[in-house]
Structure 1
């Protein structure tokens, strides 16, 4: 899948990274192996580094995997929404 032009969270046009909705660190755990197929485990969103870093600073991998496995759930979280709003105000730079 080709990356979009803008971050799927803050909408800035910057270099993007791929965020697995279910972090790779937990893919081998039985809970996730039983409930998700390979395609679901490898699904994700394209986000800027600021948004990506913020997601992983706010929540550990297990919490991200269990509570924030969809874009809708990520956007609905108050702490993440505050971080995304801050990111959206930052100057966009491409490298």
Structure 2
């Protein structure tokens, strides 16, 4: 009978935790980057006119897109990375 070579439970938990930390970090930085860009465009650059909550909503939508992309990346790429790049 052949042996089945499966990772131990610690490796699986560590991989899932690594993925979750990676994805959460990407979502937070996307939100902050989008909020900063909207604030700059609406404020000093005077390129658009939005309220505070419209800016936060726009940044939130960008963060949701990052979340969906990160979940899809887990299905497509390496299981412990929220990146679609095969070398990450």
- Relative to the length of structure 2, the TM-score reads 0.29
Higher relative contact order, chain-length normalized (CA < 8 Å, sep 6+): 1
Structure with the largest fraction of strand: 1
- Relative to the length of structure 1, the TM-score reads 0.28
Structure with the largest fraction of helix: 2
